[in-house]
Every structure is written in structure tokens, then in C-alpha cells.
Amino acid sequence: MGIRERLLELKSSLPEQVTLVAVSKTKPVADLMQAYDCGQRVFGENKVQEMAEKYHQMPKDIQWHMIGHLQRNKVKYMAEFVDLIHGVDRLKLLTEINRQAKKHNRTINCLLQIKIATEDTKFGLKKEDAIALLESEVFQDLQHIHISGVMGMASFTNDSDQIKTEFENLKTTFDILKKIHPGMKIISMGMSGDYQLAISCGSTMIRVGSHIFGARHYT
Ligand SMILES: *Cc1c(COP(=O)(O)O)cnc(C)c1O
């Protein structure tokens, strides 16, 4: 099977309320265009420069999602066009996104990254920190960002019971945060290896790369 077949099969298997982010990091524009030609319009990248290059080369009706860990000094390179930033895990980053969005006279949608994995390598806010952020005065003053939901990454393990527990924790955290911030709609969880489990735990947005585009080769 090629990119087209894998993408179409995946799409037809998804419930209607689940958005598919095609994670195209490291892949050439020709591969992305195959997905585009089958109707895919949401693409995820984890490096700002790579995303900006692809943005300039590809049709303008694509929604670009930044899914990687983000440094503040990179925000300016995508503020003009990024549709959703998944990995926001600190107020200072949010403040910079707001500043850059304002320059372009737009509002940028963001997801709060919540730490659900037990490993300490994964980024993200604890539930309590996310609550504090949403209730802070600094946050209330940010007019050019919109917190659309939460994002999480499960532990790197084959133990599906553990992954399930982590996904359930993200759903629970989402429900709590939504009471404080009713504009939240998105739960971004699930990748190639665990998207079905994520959907059964309440995911509304999955980020799938290798299952569509094949294994990544890093040089
Ligand atoms: C690379 C990446 C994905 C996609 O991973 P696959 O296993 O290839 O589906 C999803 N989310 C994030 C944050 C990533 O960096």
C-alpha cells in the first residue's frame, strides 16, 4: 500500500468527531501532496523552519499544526500562518505567541500540553499548573490566543494498560479544565501505535505520521 491507500483507509475508519492530523515531519513535499490530493488538509510538523518551508511551497488552504516542543524565539517564524500549536506548556511561551499573533492581527489557537507520561523526559504541565495558568491574571489579558483544548503524549511503552490509564487521565484533566475554560473542545492524543486506544478514551484529534507516510529516516 502507498500513502494514498493508507490515508484513505485510515480516514474511513475514523469516527466523524475525530480530526486527523497527518504528521509529515522529515517527509518531502511530494509525499505531503499525495495526501493533499486525497483531501487531507491538516498537517503536523515538529520543527518551525521545516513547517515554514513547506507552507511556502504548498497550497494555501492547508491548516498547519505545530506539534513539537517549541522555543520562544521560533514563534515569530510561524505566527503569520500557524493554525494550532499543540505543545504549549508555559505561560511565557503563551505570552510570546500572543505578542506575535497581535503583530499579524490574528488569534492563534493553542493546546495546553499536559504531562500524562510517567517518564520525566516528556514535557507538559501538571493538572494543578494548568489550572493556575488558566486562572492567572497574565493569562486573562492575552487577547490574541485561544486555548482550544489539551494535548498529551503517553509513555513510550508496550503496556497498553498503562497507556490507557494515561489517556484516561488526560480526558479527566480536560473535563476539569473545561469547567474553568468552557471554550476548550479538543483532546489531542493518539499516534500511529495507539490512536485506536486514544479514540476509545475520548480523543478528538489524533496525530498520525508513520502509519500514513511510512517510517521516518533521520539523517
Ligand atoms: C512524530 C510525532 C507524532 C507522530 O508519530 P507516529 O508514531 O509516526 O504516528 C505524533 N505526535 C508528536 C508530538 C510527534 O512528535
83 CA from centroid of ligand 1 (Å) = 18
User: Consecutive 10-residue runs of the chain (219 residues): their mean pLDDT?
Assistant: 96 97 98 98 98 98 97 98 97 98 98 90 89 96 98 94 97 98 97 97 98 88
Q: Residue 187 in contact with residue 205, Cβ under 8 Å?
A: yes
Q: Which triple of cell numbers denotes residue 210?
A: 508513520
Task: Determine the 3-state secondary structure of 190 from DSSP.
Answer: coil
How far apart are the CA of 208 and the centre of ligand 1, in A?
Answer: 6
Task: Say how many Å lie between the CA of residue 146 and the centre of ligand 1.
Answer: 23
Please name the residue whose Cα sits nearest to atom 13 of ligand 1: 67
Task: Calculate how far, in angstroms, residue 24's C-alpha sits from the geometric centre of ligand 1.
Answer: 9
Sequence-distant (≥ 6) Cβ neighbours of residue 196 within 8 angstroms: 190
Per-residue pLDDT, 122 = 66
Question: 26 CB under 6 A from ligand 1?
Answer: no
Neighbouring C-beta atoms of residue 56, cutoff 10 Å: 9
Whole-number Å distance between alpha carbons of 108 and 143: 10
Q: Is the CB of 209 under 6 A from ligand 1?
A: yes
Identify which of 10, 70, 207, 212 to mutate to test ligand 1's pocket (most ligand atoms within 8 A of the CB).
Answer: 207
Give the pLDDT of residue 121: 65
